[in-house]
Structure 1
Amino acid sequence: MKDSTMGLPEDHLIPLVDEGLGNSAYLVDLGDGRALAVDASRDLRALNAAAERRGLIVAYAADTHLHADFLSGAVQLGHDHGATILASAAGHRAFAHRGLAEGDEVDLGGLTLRALATPGHTDEHLSFLLLDGRAELGVFTGGSLIVNSAARTDLLGPERTEELARAQYRSLRRLTELPDSTAVWPTHGAGSFCSAPPGSERTTTIGAQKRANPLLAAPDEDTFVSQLTASLGSYPAYFDRLGEANRRGPALVTGTPLLTELSAGGVRALVADGGHVVDVRPAADYAAGHIPGSLSIPLRGQFATWLGWLLPDTAPLVFVTADGQDPGEIVRQAYKIGYERLAGRLDGGLPAWTAAGHPLASTAFVTADRTDSRPYVDVRQESEFATGHVPGAVNIELGGLARAAADAPEGAIVACGHGERAMTAASLLERAGHTDVAVLDGGPADYAAAHGEQLVRSPEGIRS
């Protein structure tokens, strides 16, 4: 495929970043019309497009672990491309795959993939070392070593967190025995709730991590465990379901699932039967008028995260869209996290709702100079809140707000970084019976500037 002394040509490794979930998949051009895919999600649009541009067939689909934040695309690649699925034998996956254990190697036809047991993020976690002869080109580290951190170890329950953190310590130490020049290709990156810290870098090297990763600077295992577990914030509720779903294997998707057009009467009947209305229009549109009791989740990169955090996957969902929004994007993001009970969308949008004689609700969406003396509820993550917040603000994370709605003060101004999450929060509070809720069109810096205040930084500082 190439001169073996040359290593992997730079353009033969194609990172495929899902900005919404904060993860990277990788497509490796093996140089002979075949490719290796690593940690591909069920949303295969970008991967298939990259393979098609190069005329590649995906011959191998490798998963580093039983993912909790997305459904794996490996089974679909096996069906669509005939890919051999490579995964940990210890994962006991219930579908055809080649189970690998420590030290097992796969001949890719000129390159070799070697399995390294790196438990911690999950029990059965593997890293995949890509070799050209004896030369270590790079290592796909999944949720083990990530840029300037390591992935969370609490996904199997609080009783396993410390045990897995200690396993993570040993796994990272093992990876640092690779040559400093070895490329590190993690799955989890900035924006992932699997504990990647903020930053723009998605890949790194072993040497760079030895110099920059604060966890690798820990003087001993106990300190490492303390630092890692102290950094663990909340994570989406759907994470607790997807590991087992990936072990069983996601159902194949044939064709492009479509959203059925539902009449206003059909929407009302669905809600009466336990369904949920999800309004995916921009926050300002929702504020101006919406179906009472609907949940605002604007359609953007983070749509899947909040859908999976705030709603069950067992109830039918109907969507309200704006003109120009792609219903297919709703479906693809929902399917990526295992949400398939998509009953449809309101045919004709809100005009059809009002034409049928049904009422609308509205939510105040105000700029910082028009917030008067309302209580301030900040729904950002605790780590974001710690970096700087409005004096006197109450921090209730959006993910936990439904359970804590009674703790939110009446007549509050609800805020996040820009307004999207805050509008979602306001819709949750309204569903819980709160009235006179307002949403800040902006963030804490805007509010502080308008009120002549300085943002407050929490004593514990930034948590990763």
Structure 2
Amino acid sequence: MSFTDDHLFPLVDEGLGNSAYLVDLGDGSALAVDASRDLRTLHAAARRRGLRVAFAADTHLHADFLSGAVQLGHDTGATVLASAAGRRLFDHTPLADGDEVDLGGLTLRALETPGHTDEHLSFLLLDGACELGVFTGGSLIVNSAARTDLLGPARTEQLARDQYRSLQCLITLPDAVAVWPTHGAGSFCSAPPGSERTSTIGEQKRANPLLAAPDEDAFVHDLLAGLGTYPAYFTRLAEANRRGPAILAGTPPIAALSPAAVRALLADGATVVDVRPAADYATAHIPGAVSIPLREQFATWLGWLLPDTTPLVFVLNPDQDPADIAWQSAKIGYERLAGQLAGGIAAWTEERGAVRNTAFATAIRAPERSYVDVRQAPEYRAGHVPGAIHLELGDLTAHAADVPSGAVVACGHGERAMTAASLLERAGRTDLTVLDGGPDDYVRAHDLRLTVGAEPS
């Protein structure tokens, strides 16, 4: 076949910062690469183009989402392609370095590229002898490389050295070869995250700062210096992907629950997750509810802050779709979805259920108190309120005692700060104000200037 850009469709999950790919193989069939368990977008893209997914390739044992490859095998009969070194416990075609798969005109060649994980493969797509592009997964990513610390500190440096050698092999490909990574802007697997999602080998040789490192030691230093924190659920999913996620018959159900049923579940140890916008949560919420607004980043914060073993009850607004909760939860392996409060917070208050509110103020009205910044470290260093106390949201519960009385809790816009306030409320802190805005709004209102870099210790 004559392959063009019209045959490749990147499918971006903005919440996880990842890209899956759908490749039109020219005969009505398709290849899917690094698809997540939430296959709604991929199936829709295939239907629009009249394609059946015949192959599903995974570059590595993903830590940030459950793979959709097993589900594709069930739904469409797709042949699953993955590393032999991954020792997966489900039906698949195991591949090693140099192995090729005939896709019916195009060819997929496996390239061993360990670093992000031990068993990582990249997949080189060929049209005859022409090397079209390479699916690099968590190896070479745009202007960076994926992190190497997900298997624990004892393995981090050696995997970084493996990553160096893998990248050196990849850049021997012709400059015109396209680079199609999985991890990209917003992914906690990136180290550090970049802004673009695809590139070429030639562009990466010119622009990737890690490839400019003069030797392996310098590369390892630079890569490890860019590592930040990552969600707690990352430690669980690689093994779940090795075993193979359970097949889903459709959208996971979220049953409607009466206020009485919710109270019974709470008494039995369930957690309420309030997915309404931050302002709605602030006005009235069930005491002890965790605020995680339903947006693209919902799965990340659910997996970071709450265990997958606790039954979850959700509070929604009428215009919010429970299917979005179900699929975002399913793609990170959260399946104990006890249900949703029927009728929302209005039904709760009608039955005289207790509610609390949280102070939510604009920068102009926010009192000049201690300012607690719960953003990620790179965001904080890029510009923060002078004198701000920095406590990342993911670590906040362990540091509740470090939050001063009456503090203003803030992030970039207010969503993560409201989540932080809800966690602090569960720890007994109800004297806080959430900033409706971010550091730019605060310094403008108080005639200050942002501080760049870390505060002096």
Relative to the length of structure 1, the TM-score reads 0.97
Mapped to 2, the partners of 1:299 and 1:440 lie a distance apart of 19
Give distance in 2, aligned partners of 1:205 and 1:414. 42
Name the SS of the counterpart of 1:322 in structure 2.
coil
What stretches of structure 2 of length at least 5 have no aligned partner? none
Deviations 1:256-313 (A, max 9, x none): 2221111111111111111100000000000001001000000000000000000000
1:231 CA drift (Å): 0.5
Match of 2:416 in 1: 421
Further displaced range: 166-175 or 253-262: 253-262
1:360 maps onto 2:349 in alignment = no
Opposite residue 126 of structure 1, the aligned amino acid is: L
Q: Secondary structure at the match of 1:216?
A: helix
Is structure 2 residue 183 aligned with structure 1 residue 188? yes
SS of residue paired to 1:26: strand
2: CA distance between counterparts of 1:389 and 1:200?
Answer: 21
Please list, as runs of the form range in 1=range in 2, the aligned pairs for 1:36-435 lying within 5 A after superposition: 36-195=31-190, 197=192, 199-435=194-430
Q: Is the 8 A contact 2:364 2:445 kept in 1?
A: yes
Determine the C-alpha separation between the residues in 2 that align with 1:126 and 1:447: 46
Aligned-partner Cα distance in 1 for 2:194–2:398: 31
Q: Could you tell me how far 1:230 is from its partner in structure 2?
A: 0.8
SS of the residue 2:212 aligns to: coil
Distance in 1 of aligned mates of 2:257 and 2:356: 20
1:91 and 1:199, CA in 2 relative to 1: closer, same or farther beyond 3 A?
Answer: closer
Q: What does the per-residue CA deviation read over 1:362-400, in whole Å, with 9 as the maximum and x for residues that have no partner?
A: 000001111222110000001100000001100000011
Larger deviation: 324-333 or 195-204? 195-204
Given that residues 144 and 193 in structure 2 are in contact (C-alpha distance below 8 angstroms), is that contact kept between their aligned partners in structure 1?
Answer: no
Aligned partners of 1:108, 1:202: CA distance in 2, in Å?
25
Q: Secondary structure at the match of 2:9?
A: strand
Per-residue CA deviation, residues 70-110 of structure 1 (Å, 9 max, x unaligned), is 00000000000000000000000000000000000001111
- Conservation of the 8 A alpha-carbon contact between 2:143 and 2:194: no
Q: Provide the TM-score with structure 2 as the length reference.
A: 0.98
Q: How many Å separate the matches in 2 of 1:257 and 1:120?
A: 34
C-alpha separation in 2, matches of 1:251 and 1:426: 35
Residues 1:12 and 2:3 aligned together: no
Say if 1:146 and 1:196, in contact at 8 Å, map to a contact too.
no
Equivalent-residue separation in structure 1 for 2:200 and 2:122 (angstroms): 14
Structure 1 residue identity aligned to 2:396: L
Q: Provide the C-alpha distance between the structure 1 equivalents of 2:251 and 2:19, rounded to a whole number of angstroms.
A: 23
Give the Cα separation in 2 of the matches to 1:255 and 1:39. 20
Instruction: Report deviation, 1:255.
Output: 2.2
> Within 2, Cα distance between the matches of 1:390 and 1:449?
10
Contact 1:71 1:242 in 2 (8 A): yes
CA distance in 2: counterparts of 1:153 and 1:255, whole angstroms:
35
Check the 8 A contact 1:62/1:87 in 2, yes or no: yes
Q: Which amino acid aligns with 1:256?
A: T
- Indicate the SS of the match to 2:340: strand
Q: Are the equivalent residues in 2 in contact too, given 1:413–1:439 (CA < 8 A)? A: yes
In structure 2, C-alpha distance between the alignment counterparts of 1:422 and 1:333, rounded to whole Å: 21
1:22, 1:188 within 8 Å by CA — same for their partners in 2?
Answer: yes
Q: Give, in whole Å, the separation in 1 of the partners of 2:46 and 2:353.
A: 48
Unaligned 5+ segments in structure 1 are none
Q: Which amino acid aligns with 1:323?
A: P
Following superposition, the deviation at residue 357 of structure 1 comes to 1.6
Change over 3 Å in CA distance of 1:211–1:336 after alignment to 2 = same
* 2: CA distance, partners of 1:411 / 1:360: 21
> Does the CA contact (< 8 Å) of 1:36 and 1:60 recur in 2?
yes
Please name the residue that 2:26 is paired with.
31
Shift of 1:196: 5.3
Which amino acid in structure 1 is aligned with residue 153 of structure 2?
P
Give the aligned CA root-mean-square deviation in angstroms: 1.2
Alpha-carbon distance in 2 for matches of 1:271, 1:406: 25
Whole-angstrom distance in 1 between the partners of 2:59 and 2:273: 33
Give every structure 1 segment of 4 or more consecutive aligned residues whose post-TM-superposition deviation is greater than 6 Å: none
Aligned length: 456
On the 8 A contact 1:36/1:61 being kept in 2, the answer is yes
CA drift of 1:234 comes to 0.3
Aligned equivalents of 2:68 and 2:20: distance in 1?
10
Distance of 1:284 and 1:403 partners within structure 2: 25
Read off the aligned partner of 1:366 and give its amino acid letter.
A
CA contact (8 A) 1:188 1:196 kept: no
By how many angstroms is 1:55 displaced?
1.1
Match of 1:253, SS state, is coil
- Find the residue that maps to 1:129 and give its secondary structure: strand
Whether the 8 Å CA contact 2:125–2:134 is kept in 1: the answer is yes
Report the residue type matching 1:150 in the other structure: A
Q: Are residues 22 and 137 of structure 1, via their aligned partners in 2, closer, same or farther at CA, if it must alter by over 3 Å?
A: same
Whole-angstrom distance in 2 between the partners of 1:256 and 1:365 = 35
